Chains A and B, each alone.
Chain A
Amino acid sequence: MTERATAPLQLPERSRRRWPAVGATAAIGIFTVLTCLPAIGGVDVDFSALVRNWSNGATKVNQLLHPNFAFLPRTVSPMLETLAMAVAGAAFAAIVSIPLTLWAARPSNPNPVTRQLVRFIININRAVPDLVYATVLVAMLGVGTLPGFVTLFLFDLGVVVKLVSEAIDSSDHPYLESGQAAGGTQAQINKVTLLPQSWTLFANQWLYSLELNVRISAILGIVGAGGIGRLLDERRGFYMYGDVSVIILEILVVIVLIEACSTALRRRLR
């Protein structure tokens, strides 16, 4: 029992093809350094400027560090507006995302033409920055929560359809074959097996899009798309950094609360 084999272990030859990984790492490293050379259009990393101009920002930082809590009551109604936009945008996007995702994923849509078409449309949708949507929609629909809601809807739709369809693409679907063997149409297979199998993928992204919405809607207000962002932009315009500080803190609290809720929900979704 205690006696070990004395012969040395014969290890098989290890592959020596490690240079691709080394090369890729080196290339990324060199590229990163090059991006910091202004002479060739890189970012001008100038830390001395930060030190020289520190006093310009210091008063603002100082104000930000002294939040004006007396302003809090005025933020309640815009924050509720923001939440309404965020929830409505995420909810409508969730409903519309179901058929679009099934069209965009290979296991649920073997037809390459319609699949690529839906993916193309979603890619266009994602290529447009949310601020551009908001600006155009504010011009079309007027200042308020409606353009904000539509912006968030479009943004969420892109996120959910892209991420969920890719997740469906990369997971295993053994039941597809049994559904085909039973003579089912793709629609039947999707409805009875693929969709129930994919609910957790959907639910995760729906909750994530809700979280994103609260963050984004703080920015959307800057172009007039309603909610807390509009108030934030107004107070910033008046240089009332104490009020801005309260709003930022409030957004932080709301985001943390929503994240806590969605984390709890996700844990129950397994």
Chain B
Amino acid sequence: MTEQSPPAQSSESSAPWSISLADVSVTYPNGTRALRNVSVDIGAGEIVSVVGLSGSGKSTLIRTINGLVTATSGTVTVGGHDVTSLRGRRLRELRGHIGMIFQGFNLADRVNVLNNVLVGRFAHTPTYRTLLGLTTAADKDLALQALDSVGMLEKVWTRASSLSGGQKQRVAIARALAQEPSIMLADEPVASLDPPTAHAVMGDLARINADRGLTVLINIHMMDLARQYANRMIGLRDGEVVYDGPAGTATDADFAQIYGRPVQTDDHSGSQR
């Protein structure tokens, strides 16, 4: 797939970035302390799963990396840029280098697949061109390449609303890939999918890491998927890092510690490994 990747994909803009959180805390306006003094270093090209129960701060952690959530204290450094100090245009430019997918896919349902993927080109397109509907041939080509790499090229003219959940998540991955990102963030990407589809999507993310060398960070609460597809695992409980180590050898006892309770059957995706 990537042997014949276009030159743009090997350009400097898509070289993987490292992520560094130094003593990061996030307190929401309603007083909730979502993150408490989190310090994590993720090297360029790593694939890391972030594990924890709902409300443990996983979503907040991942959103501090692209500035969707601003750290209350501490610094977030991504690819050498201090995210916490960026605003407006500079922040949008930085986000252009960070792809993100979501549990709910976050596509525009009444919009066709191609235009949904072209959302990934926003940061690289002047606003007036978007408003006038002027898409460059290069951008369209990038979008089509991205769709092809997740096997969704034939759905290019389909409305997002008529896709299945797995197809929607693949379009969302294509949208992120169209950014030619240096980092890929995934917030519970398979929580709304059935187990076989979940494995397929996790496989796509692992392939993006292996083939394109992107830094990949995946929020997930299912133990088997976290072990199988990531090299390293970070466990969060009540906004604090309680585990940081290899994913494959993490034991049930480690998970029990992260979850703060014995492991249950729901903690697995429930399909073959």
Residues on A lying within 8 angstroms of B by beta carbon are: 174-175, 177-185, 187-189, 191-194, 196-197, 199-200
Contacts and interface: CB of A to CB of B under 8 A. Distances in A.
Nearest to A184: B122
A196 B115 CA distance: 11
10 contacts: A175-B108, A177-B102, A179-B119, A182-B99, A183-B92, A183-B94, A184-B130, A188-B131, A192-B122, A193-B111
B110 A183 contact: no
Contacts of B133: 191
Interface in B84-132: 91-96, 98-100, 102, 104-111, 115-116, 118-123, 125, 127, 130-131
A183 B111 contact: no
A184 B123 contact: yes
Contact of A192 (B66, B105, B130, B185): B130
Contacts of B116: 193
Interface of A is mostly: helix
A179 B131 contact: no
Contacts of A181: 66, 68, 95, 98-100, 185
A182 B108 contact: no
Given A188-B125, A192-B115, A194-B108, 13 more contacts: A174-B106, A175-B107, A178-B175, A182-B95, A182-B121, A183-B91, A184-B123, A184-B130, A187-B130, A189-B119, A192-B118, A192-B119, A193-B116
Residue among A178, A185, A191, A199 having the largest count of chain B Cβ atoms under 10 Å: A178
Contacts of B102: 174, 177-178
Given A183-B122, A184-B119, A192-B130, A175 B106 contact: yes
B172 interface: yes
B179 interface: yes
B106 A177 contact: yes
A177 B107 CA distance: 10
Contact of B175 (A174, A182, A183, A189): A182
A187 B106 contact: no
B105 to A, nearest CB: 8
B154 to A, nearest CB: 22
A140 to B, nearest CB: 35
Contacts of A175: 106-108, 119
Nearest to B93: A183
A178 B120 CA distance: 9
Contacts of A188: 122, 125, 127, 130-131
Given A182-B119, A182-B120, A184-B119, A197 B110 contact: yes
Contacts of B104: 174
Nearest to A190: B131
Residue among B96, B121, B130 having the largest count of chain A Cβ atoms under 10 Å: B130
A180 B120 CA distance: 10
Contacts of A197: 108-111
Contacts of A174: 102, 104-107
B214 to A, nearest CB: 15
Q: Which 4 A-B pairs have the closest CB atoms?
A: A183-B123, A184-B122, A183-B95, A193-B108
Nearest to A172: B104
A182 B99 CA distance: 7
A128 B107 CA distance: 41
B175 A191 contact: no
Residue among B119, B123, B176, B185 having the largest count of chain A Cβ atoms under 10 Å: B119
Contact of A182 (B109, B127, B179): B179
A175 B175 CA distance: 12
B130 A196 contact: no
A188 to B, nearest CB: 4
Nearest to A185: B127
Contacts of B107: 174-175, 178
Contact of A196 (B68, B98, B108): B108
Contacts of A185: 92, 122, 127
Contacts of B120: 182
Contact of B100 (A178, A187, A196, A200): A178
